[in-house]
Structure 1
């Protein structure tokens, strides 16, 4: 009886450990999915900056932060990082709206031509400053 009792105990422990492992995998996969979704949202939002330097800075900062914290396994720390990312996304959304109020001419490195942007659809039209 003790042999079968210990066998049942080990079987239930194995089943319990498998359930815990699969739940852990599920939590990790959902956190991973949330992280990748957030990464894409941050990169997408960084493209909304009108100024080249701000755009590139936001992309670089997002990439660096995610690469730096790639190996984090602690669930609590990952949740804190996700919350921090959400706050950063909120800030970036506000800043992109503000940056669109103060648009500058596109730089040559962005594919802009010398002159100002104009035209009906925002096409690039060469306009020389007279003065």
Structure 2
């Protein structure tokens, strides 16, 4: 069975990585989903189920890392496209 400190470290890592999303909506959605998932699973006592959920969370951590990197690559500096005057 995984220790509470390893699970807490995984939770913190997920939250830390979700803060790297460039878009507010993605960040808030990821944080909400992470908190809800850990809150829903905090009363699980079956060690096999706990290990399955931990491996699922690690996969999600890898997914969040990839998606945060991709979202940073397509960042735009301006929200409005300005018209270039003709000369």
TM-score, scaled to structure 2: 0.85
Q: Which residue of 2 aligns with 1:61?
A: 33
Matching of residue 85 in structure 1 with residue 63 in structure 2: no
Q: Which runs of 5+ in 2 are unaligned?
A: none
RMSD: 1.9
Equivalent residue for 2:16, pick from 16, 38, 44: 44
Matching of residue 34 in structure 1 with residue 34 in structure 2: no
Write out the 4+ residue segments of structure 1 that deviate beyond 3 Å after TM superposition. Answer: none
Deviations 1:87-118 (A, max 9, x none): 0001111101100111145xxxxxxxxxx49x
Cα distance in 2 for partners of 1:47, 1:104 equals: 18
Q: Which runs of 5+ in 1 are unaligned?
A: 1-26, 106-115, 118-128
Aligned length: 82
- Indicate the structure (1 or 2) with the bigger Cα radius of gyration: 1
Between the two structures, name the one with larger relative contact order (CA 8 Å, sep ≥ 6): 2
TM-score, scaled to structure 1: 0.57
